[in-house]
Structure 1
């Protein structure tokens, strides 16, 4: 299996079937995501025939594989299958990126996927294999960062995020933000690079400073009392899809989902308005944020949301957006060492961490004023 990490698919599949459905399929096959599409196609066909027994006798020419997207973590494929005289059946295959086990607990992801799929979020979960999962195909388009700023879409996103935050998932209900940041910090602070340019760039980072910033921000946010909800934790544009014909919006991919602070999930979403290019001139202003909050809090009567609630959400989101910058900055350092994907992860660290430092004074002042006013009340 080479560099592909194999986890116990059969064990996870059995856990998934308990309390969910007898229809969750599984296969031990793995597919190298670094292969070209022509070399990958016969392996995808073999996987489909292994998982879906009713397709096992179909000719290979009945399968058409196309690449939907390839982000900086996973590869997404659409497989269209011609079954008899019926119209094509389509499924989605997601191949996990190499070395992503350093960031993602796949058992936790599948636990979340099981319940969120049952609650009507995203695609229907169909099965798992050695290094990925299979879902129903969602007809629609993936959003771009600029799409998320559009008021009608922002309102729909806010409503769906509120629905997601109300889902009950069995297991640990403690917020995972600071556990995740500390875990990433421990890994990121002891990396060694063979490439001389990367080694020099990495050597410019003061991890003592980063550690002190983490501790200071953790202490400050502890006074905000942001509610703990089941959070997506990665609400970037690529994880949101729309179908304009059916007027539907989908939140997809739950790799980082866990119980977490409400303010963090929303603040992280706002930070993602900037996209991977980190154009923070696109970060939502107060009016744009208030529009989102109104539809999150009370989508049927958004104009009736109180000013006090708007101010509370504003402080939460913008303070926790600082934590988002730190977490993804540290994540990027680990990716710089582990990921085979051609992306400037080291550069991304500095873009996120420098934005944290640029916004720190304003957001800290905002949070401290809010906390002081709450204590007086």
Structure 2
């Protein structure tokens, strides 16, 4: 197979379990012609709040089993997620060994390789050993991935014009806000408020987040995979770390990816006590490991530099200031996202309450940000 198969007519049902299993088997028999359809086992995996994820095992009559994943997109998610960008990002990641092979693309999803291991628990994210593994892997992402290559592939795959592509987080948030409903006075006022707020926050922090990188943008615990037998309590060795789920990957200032990851330490339960203090010892150590990683890997390859550039306290100070400036943006971003999901999603999750919690993070940050500017004698106009 020279590249992912494209099967545009195939649709995997989201609700009917029997029909879902049958159609998935048919799809895989088409993607892998040598597979016997009767030897394909399909199991639904839990954990996500956007899509349907199926683990598919082909039992070929030998001890060797072949495992792939089939992901069917949640209803209406195409209005908030650029599936063409996701596809092209996955292809680009795989070319660097940072993602599993992509076997096929169908009308409402993807077929791709299975990464053995387990997702970490959000309470493990503060483990010093795991922190180093995650920060080093994110440094690889931010160093070797090339946004222009992904963009070129998007243009080739979609037939879109250059100006039709959403290129950054500001354009994406603007697009999301434009899709918000205005059926009630409250909805209309919310939409107008968010549009106004986007203009303000962009004017304040746009150029204060450090270099623009290909960011994961959804680096929560469930998207961090470590070996099945790795224990955060028993092991002192840095585990091999892999990131999964690339549907939100986008060029952004690095500060957004870092701030977003730290915010995800709270989990979906929004236990804010677990979020590290901005500029505190834990975050500074994480940042130091990240910066060492960015120096260690040459752009465009995984080759280690023999003589890494030392990371001084001033370097960490700069990174912490970038994160501090962008600290409210994840709450704003996911608050908009959850507001849309509360309208379109059929998945059993309290999106409205989640949106409220995330927006509260943004408003808290904004209050502190304005107070800091005032204390420094800067205008808030």
Query: Normalising to structure 2: TM-score of the pair?
Result: 0.81
2:276 matched residue in structure 1? 284
Gaps of 5+ in 1: 1-20, 193-198, 373-377
Instruction: State the SS of the aligned residue for 2:136.
Output: helix
RMSD of aligned alpha carbons: 2.8
Q: Does the 8 Å CA contact 2:41/2:56 hold for their aligned counterparts?
A: yes
Alpha-carbon offset, residue 123 of structure 1: 1.8
Q: Show CA shifts across 1:157-214 (max 9, x none).
A: 11111111121141559961111111112222x343xxxxxx69x5596444433432
Whole-angstrom distance in 1 between the partners of 2:348 and 2:107: 24
1:196 matched residue in structure 2? none
Alpha-carbon distance change, 125 to 223 in structure 1, aligned in 2, over 3 angstroms: closer
Q: Structure 1 residues 113-122 or 245-254, which shifts more?
A: 245-254
Alpha-carbon offset, residue 59 of structure 1: 5.1
| Match 2:21 to one of 41, 49, 59 | 41
Whole-angstrom distance in 2 between the partners of 1:346 and 1:230: 29
Q: Does 1:251 align with 2:243?
A: yes
Alpha-carbon offset, residue 119 of structure 1: 0.6
Instruction: State the SS of the aligned residue for 1:278.
Output: coil
Alpha-carbon distance change, 33 to 22 in structure 1, aligned in 2, over 3 angstroms: same
Alpha-carbon offset, residue 351 of structure 1: 0.7
Task: Give the aligned length.
Answer: 340
Whole-angstrom distance in 1 between the partners of 2:358 and 2:91: 32
Q: Does 1:262 align with 2:254?
A: yes
Whole-angstrom distance in 1 between the partners of 2:105 and 2:195: 38
Query: Normalising to structure 1: TM-score of the pair?
Result: 0.82
Whole-angstrom distance in 2 between the partners of 1:183 and 1:218: 14
Whole-angstrom distance in 2 between the partners of 1:103 and 1:203: 18
| Match 2:214 to one of 221, 225, 230 | 230
Alpha-carbon offset, residue 222 of structure 1: 3.1
| Match 2:197 to one of 213, 231, 244 | 213
Whole-angstrom distance in 2 between the partners of 1:217 and 1:238: 29
Alpha-carbon distance change, 264 to 107 in structure 1, aligned in 2, over 3 angstroms: same
| Match 2:88 to one of 91, 100, 111 | 111
Alpha-carbon offset, residue 363 of structure 1: 3.9
Q: Does the 8 Å CA contact 2:265/2:274 hold for their aligned counterparts?
A: yes
Alpha-carbon offset, residue 302 of structure 1: 10
Instruction: State the SS of the aligned residue for 1:298.
Output: helix
Whole-angstrom distance in 1 between the partners of 2:259 and 2:376: 17
Alpha-carbon distance change, 26 to 171 in structure 1, aligned in 2, over 3 angstroms: closer
| Match 2:339 to one of 333, 336, 343 | 333
Alpha-carbon offset, residue 367 of structure 1: 7.5
2:234 matched residue in structure 1? none
Whole-angstrom distance in 2 between the partners of 1:367 and 1:130: 49
Q: Show CA shifts across 1:7-58 (max 9, x none).
A: xxxxxxxxxxxxxx7142232311112223x442222111111111011xx2
